[in-house]
Every structure is written in structure tokens, then in C-alpha cells.
Amino acid sequence: IPGALFVDLNADLSAEKTDPRLGRHPLPGAARFSALLSRLGITPDTEIVVYDQTDASMAASRFWFLMRLAGHRKVSVLDGGLDAWLAADLPVDAIEPAPMPTDYPVSFQQDMLITEQELKPLLNNTAVVLLDARAPERFRGEIEPLDKKAGHIPGALNRPYSQNIENGVFKSPEQLRAEFAALIQGRKNIMLSCGSGVTACHNLLALSHAGIGGGKLFAPSWSGWVADDANPVALGSDA
């Protein structure tokens, strides 16, 4: 899209892999994210639209979440991504802009995150729901192509991120609200996980689109959870 800047999931939106307990895509620290935003020429007043190829399930939803984590409210996602843009016969180019660097200090809002130590005592709390964004067969432990163990965190419920999308775009806020309400069943404490803390952001984006706030990301997600062999594993479709 003309004027767009490139951001890479691994190089820009993840920290270096120094501790497997932080997962396959560790969240970048505030200083690292500050350097990225400053390099991109972003200021606290910048209106940001993020997109990826299709459904925002990778870098787009992750970037959206990191901006919200940094307290930046002027951020949205292009529904349908580049595919929708092209389908609308809108212009594209191959020019890479050279933004004027800025100085954007970042301080993350830690109440939007939950650590493993904070999560563990909540797994049997009936007021808490943990939603896992992975595909059903990975959640049930039938296959595991990426991580060292198959299954899911005990007590988690499966909400595949793909269920947020219909015909290439997000479902309506009303439909998403009804679907999440059926899972959440009135619980106000919503925790989100996936394989490595990326597609869980898609569920957070869908919750926001549905008008449901307050969700917390367990950023290490399944890959971080199974890095500790002492952590329990559940199999099958039961929570």
C-alpha cells in the first residue's frame, strides 16, 4: 500500500530468544519497541493502521496489541489485509518510504499481561477463563508441529483465531460478542494464549471489535508453558 512501512514479526515484534520459558516469540521489551517506533517515525499522536496479507493473524494483530500495550489508542487494523485492498482494485507500489526518526518513549501497561506465576493459581478459579487460539487438533494434542509437547494448559478453552474470520474479514461485533459470550459465560477475567503469544493477539483484537475489554495476554503461551517439564499438560477437548 503506498506509504506503508515494513515491520517484521521476528526481527521487530519479538525479543531475542534468551529463555525458552518466554516462548517462541518473546514480547519485546519497552526499550526495544521504543526504538522500533522511533525508527518508523511514529509519535504518540500518530494515527496507525496495520495490516498483513489477509486476516491480521500474525504481525498485524501483534503490532496492534503492542501499540495498545504501550498506551497508544490511535491504532486500527485494515480488515481483510492486503488481499482486501487488492480486491478493491486500490493502488500499490514498490517504494520504500524513509521516515524521519522520532523519539517515542514507551512504557508498557503491565496490567494487560499475565505471567506464568500469576496464571497458575487462577487455573482452577471459576471466575477466570483462559482462551487458547490454536487450531483444535493442536489444542487437543492430536498433533504438535512446533513445540516439544502436545496438548493444552489445564483448564483452558479452545477459541481458534480462525473462527473470528468469515469470508476473509472479521465477523460482525454482534456475532463475535455472542460467540465469546457463549465461551466466557459471564466471567470477567479473560486470559489469552496460543502457541507463542502471536495469534492470541488476534483473539484480543476480536474481543475489542466485539466491545469486550479487559483481556490479558499470557505472552509465553504454550511454547513457554511446556519449556518447564514440571508444568501439567491436558489432552483432549475437555478443559
Q: Which residues are catalytic?
A: 194
Residue 164 main-chain phi, psi, to 5 deg = -80, -15
Residue 130 main-chain phi, psi, to 5 deg = -110, 120
Cβ–Cβ under 8 Å, residues 25 and 196: yes
- Residues 6 or more apart whose Cβ sits within 8 Å of residue 5: 40, 41, 97, 99
Residue 200 main-chain phi, psi, to 5 deg = -60, -30
Tally of helices (H runs) and strands (E runs) in the chain: 8, 8
Residue 9 main-chain phi, psi, to 5 deg = -60, -50
Cβ–Cβ under 8 Å, residues 41 and 103: no
Q: How far is CA 158 from CA 17, 63, 116, 130, 133, in A?
A: 27, 23, 19, 9, 6
The residues pairing with 88 across neighbouring beta strands, listed in sequence order, are none
- Other CB atoms within a 10 A radius of the CB of residue 20 amount to 16
Which of 172, 161, 169, 166 is CA-nearest to residue 221?
161
